[in-house]
Amino acid sequence: MPQPLPSPSPDFLSRFSEEGYYCCERILEAAACARAETAIRNSRPFGPELFMTEEAYNASEKTHYGTNPLPGRNILDTLDTTFVTANHSLRSYIAALLGENFRWFYSKLVCRVPRDAMPAWVLNGIGLGPTTTLGAFIKPEYRDIAYYHDNEIHQDIMDYARMPEENKEHRLITLYVYLDDVTLRDAPTCVAPGTHLLGAGNFPYDITKTGSTWQYRHASGQSMETSLKPVPTPAGSVLMWHSCLLHGAKPIADGRWRFGIRYMLACAKGAKNIPLDTINARIQNPLYQEKETTARAIFPNHNGFLLMPQSDWTRSYFE
Ligand SMILES: [Fe+2]
């Protein structure tokens, strides 16, 4: 008989509903996180060697598409991640949101590349500004990990426009596992609390600084005041968020490479009346975009370098 799951924190659902995210601090076994981190760091040289030469890049297809980890090319297939997926306490939180029999829908290891490890030809190519992913610049043999320099403010829902309709029915949420300490000085994930309540928006998102707060204007004409709140995550913490929550990450300035495991979680196929549905019922606007607004769809491609618009937020960290 499987053991019954323990109860999550009593304020979990109300906070996830109000703020669109929740952090389970140090919920995972520290030693297991450290073992995974060591195995990752030993898997390849984390330095400039990961990147193609500029000549090899110029001779390549110059596209980020198809450069993410895929089935058969995913470092997580070689790691024991049961310290995450079998963690009873964590499972209780997920089940409280997605119902029993939720599924680990997709997973990849995310590597945050420190800014000072970026080759000059890549930094110059992206205009020293924000970027979407670094996949196209990475040697093909290392593409079993997803590499990022920064993440402009976005909703994860923007990735789902390309998904088949049946996947949308699964009501995906994002879950991030932090293997190592990420403090306020370490370019932590930043979230804009409550922004999920306006539903799916369009990239680039209209979010501007107004004094000490941020104003988010949705395409529907609705707007709200929010903040861009960095969330420190001690090793073994798990941060989960709604697919419509605005979030991002600044570049790493202190030279330390960082790793996190990103999961997309789905409810059981055909599940009805899961708690997330109650939260979604508060959202007046559509939960999914009708058309694709990923960088590929809307930004000019300069030799494979997608030149991104800069929000007030990214401008502030590149100044
Ligand atoms: Fe994201």
d(CA 227, CA 278): 24
- Residue 20 has a pLDDT of 97
- Residue 302 has a pLDDT of 66
Strands 21-24 vs 237-241: parallel, antiparallel or unpaired: antiparallel
CA atoms within a 13 Å half-sphere pointing along the CA-CB vector of 116: 5
The DSSP secondary-structure symbol of 9 reads P
Residue ranges per structural domain of the chain: 12-318
For residues 76-102, average pLDDT? 96
The three-class DSSP label of residue 217 is strand
Burial label for 165, CB within 10 Å (0-12, 13-18, 19+), is exposed
Element (H, E) at 152: strand 151-154
Q: How far is the CA of 15 from the centre of ligand 1 (A)?
A: 20
Q: How far is the CA of 1 from the centre of ligand 1 (A)?
A: 37
Task: Tell me, yes or no, if the pTM score tops 0.95.
Answer: no
Q: How far is the CA of 22 from the centre of ligand 1 (A)?
A: 15
Q: How far is the CA of 243 from the centre of ligand 1 (A)?
A: 8
CA atoms within a 13 Å half-sphere pointing along the CA-CB vector of 33: 22
Position 319 confidence tier, pLDDT thresholds 50, 70, 90: low
d(CA 51, CA 114): 13
pLDDT of 157 > 80? The answer is yes
Give a three-class secondary structure readout of 262-295: EEEEECCCCCCCCHHHHHHCCCCCCCCCCCCCCH
Q: How far is the CA of 246 from the centre of ligand 1 (A)?
A: 8
- Residue 62 has a pLDDT of 84
Q: How far is the CA of 155 from the centre of ligand 1 (A)?
A: 6
pLDDT of 318 > 80? The answer is no
Q: How far is the CA of 248 from the centre of ligand 1 (A)?
A: 7
pLDDT of 5 > 80? The answer is no
For the stretch 32-80, pLDDT in tens is: 999 999 999 999 999 999 999 999 999 998 888 889 999 999 999 999 9
Q: How far is the CA of 176 from the centre of ligand 1 (A)?
A: 10
Q: How far is the CA of 158 from the centre of ligand 1 (A)?
A: 9
Position 7 confidence tier, pLDDT thresholds 50, 70, 90: confident
CB 242 within 8 Å of CB 21: yes
Give the residue with greater pLDDT, 306 vs 14. 14
- Residue 313 has a pLDDT of 72
To the question of domain 12-318 being in CATH 2.60.120.620, the answer is: yes
Position 161 confidence tier, pLDDT thresholds 50, 70, 90: low
d(CA 174, CA 150): 18
Q: Which residue has the tokens 């989960």?
A: 240
For the stretch 213-272, pLDDT in tens is: 999 999 899 999 999 999 999 999 999 999 999 999 999 988 899 999 999 999 998 898
Q: How far is the CA of 316 from the centre of ligand 1 (A)?
A: 20
pLDDT of 169 > 80? The answer is no
Q: Taking all residues of the chain, what is their mean pLDDT, rounded to a whole number?
A: 89
For residues 8-23, average pLDDT? 96
Position 287 confidence tier, pLDDT thresholds 50, 70, 90: confident
Asked which of 70-79, 87-96, 119-128, 184-193 is least confident by mean pLDDT, the reply is 119-128
Backbone angles phi, psi at 91, to 5 degrees: -60, -30
The DSSP secondary-structure symbol of 163 reads S
